[in-house]
Structure 1
Amino acid sequence: MIEVLVVEDDERVNRVHAAYVAKVPGFRVAGRAHGAAEALRLTQTLPRLDLVLMDHHLPDRTGLAVVGEMRRRGDGTDVIMVTAARDIATVRAALRLGALQYLIKPFAFAALRDRLEAYAELRHALHGEGEAGQEQVDRLFGACSATAEPGVPTGHSPATADLVRRALIDAEGSLSAQQVAEATGLSRQTAQRYLKLLERTRRAALTLRYGEAGRPEHRYVWATRV
């Protein structure tokens, strides 16, 4: 599980964002903070923390000041800015402090879900050792963009679609949603959703495998192999 700290001064919004995080498979809310001091304390005391969803406008200090303090004390925990601040100076400062993404409030659940899924993909891709080629480096640096591209509708992550696409292309035969999930590090539900997307856009084909009893197993193959 990816452990997340939600930092937001408005209690209602804080609860909503925490509920959004809890709905995304593979993510869990490790804590919630309503101010800078509380956020800094939790980043030091939580037994494990992978990601901070950081608001900028906090009652005691700004969110960027919190991130700056984290970096000064050697805390490299990943940060996604989640804020209504949209001035270029704040965005530029967030980039310089190493924020992976910048999500402007208000937003729907799908917007945060896509960014969390893209973040999970980035963590999966960075796991392990060895060297990376230019193509892999380009994918890694674009993994958290979660911006729309042709063929991927709003509410879906292009990075996730590409991850599932590559799993199908690399497979020797057809794959089930569970097999795609195991190959990509995604949850089975997420893998199933993107397999259906690829099927609807005719980039993947659905096949059925019938067993001795029960419903047939849905399996997917890259369209050019049909």
Structure 2
Amino acid sequence: MAYQPPIEEISVLIIEDDVRIAEINRRLVEKVPGYKVIGIATDGQEAKEQLDILCPHLVLLDIYFPDMNGLEFLEVIHQQYQETDVIMITASREISSVKEALRNGVFDFIVKPLVFERLKNSLEKYQEFRNKLKKIQTENQSINQEEIDELINRQKEQLHSYLPKGIDKITLQKVTEVLNHSEEGLNAERLAKQIGISRPTARRYLEYLVAKDQIGADLSYGDVGRPERIYRKK
């Protein structure tokens, strides 16, 4: 039998101001093979000190702290600790928070209350990502386009698995399909009629896609009445 190198143990730092939740998260993380929590920080100063000393592979980071904003601290990690990856675990459901987290390179964004299966799926995907990257680095000094595409697609697939409250995956797919086949664009009322949902629901999905920068929106001024928003694929 060919030699199999030992599985790398992935070190995790939990940054969470609620000690009870942090301990629950530690237990959940360590139920996943290959993971070890090496520290828990409950405020900004502790987080910075433990990052300096422990150099974890992965941080589980909340957004809301009494003394700091987790999204601002994420930017610090992104700039100063480039060997450390981040998974956000937070009660925040704002689209703006998701967009800012994505811009600063989070591997995943998970909303509270934390469900073990969702966390387990994320940690397994992260483990696959690290193993693939390590294999490429071991075997080659450079990386080809196919390998780059695979790494990027894996991370995109993981990030796109997050949908905020009120956005259903199947309905979102229907909305996207209708938009892709509409050359002139459409408003919320026309979309609602085509897929059988209410106008406010149609507008919610359309604005979600605008916030994700997947479609564009313009104002159309008719002969009478108020201007309406017309949504178009990019």
Counterparts of 1:70 and 1:17 in 2: how far apart (Å)?
20
CA contact (8 A) 2:10 2:57 kept: yes
CA contact (8 A) 1:119 1:143 kept: no
Residue 143 (structure 1) aligned with residue 161 (structure 2): no
From 52, 56, 60, the equivalent of 2:63 is 56
CA contact (8 A) 1:52 1:77 kept: yes
Report the alpha carbon displacement of residue 134 of structure 1 after superposing the two structures with TM: 4.7
Q: Which moved more, 1:49-58 or 1:124-133?
A: 124-133
Identity %: 37
After TM superposition, list the pairs within 5 Å mapping 1:83-162 onto structure 2: 83-127=90-134, 128=137, 129-144=140-155, 145-146=157-158
Aligned to 1:77: 84
Could you say if the C-alpha distance between residues 71 and 138 of structure 1 is closer, same or farther in structure 2, counting changes exceeding 3 Å?
closer
Report the alpha carbon displacement of residue 132 of structure 1 after superposing the two structures with TM: 4.5
Residue 35 (structure 1) aligned with residue 43 (structure 2): yes
CA contact (8 A) 1:2 1:28 kept: yes
Report the alpha carbon displacement of residue 135 of structure 1 after superposing the two structures with TM: 4.5
CA contact (8 A) 2:90 2:110 kept: yes
Counterparts of 1:68 and 1:43 in 2: how far apart (Å)?
14
CA contact (8 A) 2:78 2:105 kept: no
Counterparts of 1:104 and 1:133 in 2: how far apart (Å)?
35
Opposite residue 150 of structure 2, the aligned amino acid is R
From 45, 59, 68, the equivalent of 2:53 is 45
Larger radius of gyration: 2
Counterparts of 1:37 and 1:98 in 2: how far apart (Å)?
22
Superposed CA deviations along residues 44-88 of structure 1, whole A, max 9, x for unmatched, are 011x41000000111110111112222343544111111111111
Aligned to 1:25: 33
Aligned to 1:2: 10
RMSD of equivalent CA atoms: 1.9
Counterparts of 2:112 and 2:84 in 1: how far apart (Å)?
22
Superposed CA deviations along residues 106-138 of structure 1, whole A, max 9, x for unmatched, are 131111011000000000111123555554333
Counterparts of 2:74 and 2:25 in 1: how far apart (Å)?
19
Instruction: Give secondary structure in 2 for the equivalent of 1:143.
Output: helix
Report the alpha carbon displacement of residue 21 of structure 1 after superposing the two structures with TM: 0.7
When the two structures are superposed, what TM-score results if normalisation uses the length of structure 2? Answer: 0.58
Counterparts of 1:69 and 1:132 in 2: how far apart (Å)?
28
Aligned to 2:175: none
Report the alpha carbon displacement of residue 95 of structure 1 after superposing the two structures with TM: 1.0
Residue correspondences, number: 147
Q: Which runs of 5+ in 1 are unaligned?
A: 149-226
Q: Which runs of 5+ in 2 are unaligned?
A: 1-8, 162-234
Opposite residue 5 of structure 1, the aligned amino acid is L
CA contact (8 A) 1:8 1:54 kept: yes
Opposite residue 154 of structure 2, the aligned amino acid is A
Instruction: Give secondary structure in 2 for the equivalent of 1:5.
Output: strand
